[in-house]
Structure 1
Amino acid sequence: MELTGARVLVAGATGVLGGLAARALAERGARVALAGRNPVRLAALARDLGGCPARSFEACDLDQCSALGPWATRVLAGLDGVLVTVGTAGFGAVEDVSNEVAGHLLTVNALCPMAILRGASSLVSDKGFLLAVTGAVADRPRAGAAVEHAAPGLRTARAPAPALGTGTGTGTDRTTPSRARTTPSTDRADSMMGRDNARTDIASYLAGTADYTASKAALSSWLGVLAAELAPRAVTVLDIRAPRLETGATGRRAPGRPPALPNEAAALDAARALLDRITSA
């Protein structure tokens, strides 16, 4: 998609990744409308980008989220794309995470992006795009879990853990916008470091992230269905499986203590990769 003159809503613009993406979009000639939680940072970014439209919203207010698409369509006189980088972190063993924290993670990481894209889905132009950042954790929600099929005669099976940064799904991009290493298959990963070591690595990576991972996986599944529904209009739905980025998310006040996490990738590189993926769609 050509970005010069494209009308794009950036939701999450006051976060590190969203702010970088908004600046990169403007540099490539896009007309942007900004939405973010922090009104001070939002106003400063809008000034830096030549006084572009800006609107604050709360991720936990789903009505505000769903109203962003119609608002952007009005102030930009149309809508060619939506980029959602909203998200929050929270950690802890399953038995230690409160229902309040679990609900907050699901709302901010899944229901908020869903509401934003739902509100924009009928307004975005044909051959436009809808993009949300899920995360590499969305690839590994069932590492080692037993799956019981409801159909009679089907045996319980261990669900294989997909490799970091890979995935499947018609109409949904599962690429990783970074230099992060990807592995074509779990079998290859097991053969490289031993099956037991691979399972240990997966377990240590996922430990303490059950509710966080579930919220990201929920959004990813929803995006896959949205892609199929919008396929007749040639609207590209992008599910960006970003690795852990240098955004300071785990350094901010978040419930629980972060587990051992992979090294951070540069957020600026990720922002540039987002735009490269959009232009190649």
Structure 2
Amino acid sequence: MPQRDLFDLRVAVVGASGALGSRIAHQLADQGARLLLVGRDEQRVRDAGPDAPVVVADLVDAGAGDLVAEAAREHLGGLDGVVNAAGVAAFGALVDTPDEVIEEVFATNVIGPAFLLRRLLPLLQESQGFVVNLSAVLAERPMAGMGAYSASKAALTALDRALASELRRAKVRVLDVRPPHTETGLVDRAIHGQAPRLPDGLEPDAVAARVVLAVAEDASDLGSDGFDG
């Protein structure tokens, strides 16, 4: 299997204040990667992440990618990879889910990542770098009571698979990650509704470690069956 040396790798971590984003950032930094941390709240990013430059940006803003690209050139001299660990959850039957909630779920989980990557792909093509998007097991197995959320993750996975084909000649690796339910606290921060009964989740540290290993292995897919637990 191909290997990617993580030392001195220039990586933007989006959603760097979250349970998975912050852990992925720390583990990349521990292996010598040079990071750019991206989030909506500068203080939360600095408190959660390793010592690295911070870009304050909202993923749903089409201009967020421009800010990240500019900061990557300024602080890192380019970009070798981007890890998108940002996302929101919403629960409940579709008929009971307000329009604005559906819109926000797709804006954050699908449209925002597409906006971001449109602006970062030129840098990644220069470096023959990589993209990591954190989707979810729901892209494989949608659940009742999680229709909009499941659909948004399935759409993100579809985007990743299309991008993998588009970018093959440019030698940019696209890694779609679909972890099982993980104890990140996301269900307690849902923007709507209450989560259905879920099994005990995986530990965020273990999930983050598996993602970083997949990056080092230069993997192109990490489905739910690729995680222990």
Same-fold call, TM cutoff 0.5:
yes
Which of these residues, 134, 150, 153, is aligned with residue 213 of structure 1?
150
Uncovered stretches (5+) of structure 2, i.e. residues with no partner: 219-229
Distance 1:44 1:266 in 2: 20
Q: Which moved more, 1:228-237 or 1:52-61?
A: 52-61
Instruction: For residue 257 of structure 1, report the CA deviation from its aligned partner.
Output: 1.2
Contact 1:9 1:69 (C-alpha < 8 Å) held by counterparts: no
- Partner secondary structure for residue 214 of structure 2: helix
- Partner secondary structure for residue 167 of structure 2: helix
Distance 1:98 1:135 in 2: 23
Per-residue CA deviation, residues 14-72 of structure 1 (Å, 9 max, x unaligned), is 111000111111100000000012221223346x42xx211111233222245323432
Letter in 1 for 2:160: L
Structure 1 residue aligned with 2:85? 85
Distance 1:21 1:92 in 2: 30
Structure 2 residue aligned with 1:137? 138
Structure 1 residue aligned with 2:188? 251
- Partner secondary structure for residue 139 of structure 2: helix
**Percent identity, aligned pairs only?**
35
Instruction: For residue 208 of structure 1, report the CA deviation from its aligned partner.
Output: 0.8
- Partner secondary structure for residue 63 of structure 2: helix
Which of these residues, 239, 264, 267, is aligned with residue 201 of structure 2?
264
1:14–1:240 CA distance, 2 compared to 1 (3 A): same
Distance 2:92 2:13 in 1: 30
Per-residue CA deviation, residues 217-237 of structure 1 (Å, 9 max, x unaligned), is 111111111111110021110
Distance 2:165 2:70 in 1: 22
| Residue 274 (structure 1) aligned with residue 195 (structure 2) | no
Structure 1 residue aligned with 2:76? 76
1:280–1:253 CA distance, 2 compared to 1 (3 A): closer
- Partner secondary structure for residue 246 of structure 1: coil
- Partner secondary structure for residue 215 of structure 2: helix
Contact 2:57 2:67 (C-alpha < 8 Å) held by counterparts: no
| Residue 6 (structure 1) aligned with residue 9 (structure 2) | yes
- Partner secondary structure for residue 103 of structure 1: helix
Per-residue CA deviation, residues 126-170 of structure 1 (Å, 9 max, x unaligned), is 4311000000000134xxxxxxxxxxxxxxxxxxxxxxxxxxxxx
CA-based RMSD: 1.5
Distance 1:66 1:216 in 2: 24
* TM norm structure 1: 0.73
Distance 1:126 1:227 in 2: 16
Letter in 1 for 2:110: A
Contact 2:89 2:190 (C-alpha < 8 Å) held by counterparts: no
- Partner secondary structure for residue 55 of structure 1: strand
Structure 1 residue aligned with 2:39? 36
Contact 1:66 1:115 (C-alpha < 8 Å) held by counterparts: no
Contact 1:126 1:233 (C-alpha < 8 Å) held by counterparts: no
Contact 1:67 1:119 (C-alpha < 8 Å) held by counterparts: no
Instruction: For residue 253 of structure 1, report the CA deviation from its aligned partner.
Output: 4.8
Structure 1 residue aligned with 2:165? 228
Letter in 2 for 1:16: A
- Partner secondary structure for residue 122 of structure 1: helix
Distance 2:211 2:66 in 1: 23
Greater Rg over alpha carbons, structure: 1
Distance 2:48 2:200 in 1: 28
Uncovered stretches (5+) of structure 1, i.e. residues with no partner: 142-205
* TM norm structure 2: 0.88
